[in-house]
Amino acid sequence: MATRNIRVIGDEILTKKCKPVRFMTPRILQLIDDMFETMYGQNGAGLAAPQVGILKQIVVMDVDDGNQYVLINPEIIEEEGSQTGSEGCLSVPGKYGIVTRPEKVKVKALDTDMKEFVLEGEGLLARCICHEVAHLRGELYVDLVEGELRDNSELEEEEEGEEEQA
Ligand code: GNR
Ligand code: NI
């Protein structure tokens, strides 16, 4: 396993459409391993292949629900409800913004054996699925932000202020 460099906003690769995976290979399995290591190393909840410079439709996720997910060629097939909340991206370091997403989604994808499955997610998992599938289309959450894109340092200062008041 190895960590890979994360591409950041401004890098053209993050705006490009990813290609479907046609068959599994040892190199792709290695890539998936590296994506998990890279994601955990940065305390991320998910990571899409273009974030490490690979234009393939591959996503890994771990939103702390005790499950690791690998989604190959994911397609959102159902959306329900809506949630408005904070979102960040490892490719937009130090920032966060408020984004409205579906509360529940159903996504169809292939696993590492190239077998189809359907995953239902709600809350943070649904948010993460939408965020990662958008990466595969070359889209970043910054274009969906309601109001200002904000600095994480402002958030920390606010939290410190709240602690001082407490
Ligand atoms: O670590 C991440 N946290 C996060 C929080 C709210 C919604 C989506 C995410 S995904 C993000 C990691 C990332 O950039 N994935 O592409
Ligand atoms: Ni992201």
How confident is the model over 93-110, as pLDDT tens digits? 999 999 999 999 999 999
Supply the DSSP string of 9-65, one letter for each residue: TT-GGGGSPPBPP-S--HHHHHHHHHHHHHHHHTT-SEEEGGGGT--BSEEEE--SS
Cβ(6) – ligand 1 distance below 6 Å: no
Cβ(44) – ligand 1 distance below 6 Å: yes
CA distance 120 to 122: 7
Domains identified in the chain and CATH numbers = 12-165 (3.90.45.10)
Active site residues: 132
What's the pTM? Answer: 0.94
Q: What does pLDDT average to over the chain?
A: 95
Residue 153: per-residue pLDDT: 86
